[in-house]
Amino acid sequence: MAQQTSVGDLLHLLKSSELQVLEDVKLCITDNLNTERGSCLLSSLVDFYLETSSLEALNILSSVREPHDKHLLDKMNECLSKPATRLNTLILLGHIIRRQPSWIHKISQAPVLVSLLKCLKCTVEICGDSNCHNKVED
């Protein structure tokens, strides 16, 4: 419980307007992500980003390295299934793809790709032929 509180407090500091505090917090989170074997911090950081749309959290998440890529992809897959978090999850996925991490090739084999395709298919079906401005041609 104390670990969750300290993670929450640390993430809350990402909203700080003091540049030095912000840099220290980002460094601390990045260092922990580079050394921590568990996915607790990563999962909390994703949840924080989804709740706040924090640019700082987005930048940290789009710089995640192996072995945390699997945890991140799994968490994003989980979040794509929830309408409330779908848009921010897609934004996060887009930022990761633009950053082209060394593990980008793993996205094609991850369940998140299937969820993304289902999401796109559903959007096209809802959009309908007459209203859709960005139809995908077969």
27 burial via Cβ count (<10 Å: 0-12, 13-18, 19+)? exposed
Q: pLDDT tens track of the chain, all 138 residues?
A: 334 447 888 898 999 889 999 999 999 888 888 876 657 889 999 999 999 999 999 999 999 988 899 999 999 999 998 989 999 999 999 999 999 999 999 999 999 998 888 887 776 555 555 444 444 443
The domains of the chain are located at 2-131
Residue 130: count other Cβ atoms within 10 Å of its Cβ.
5
How much is the pTM? 0.79
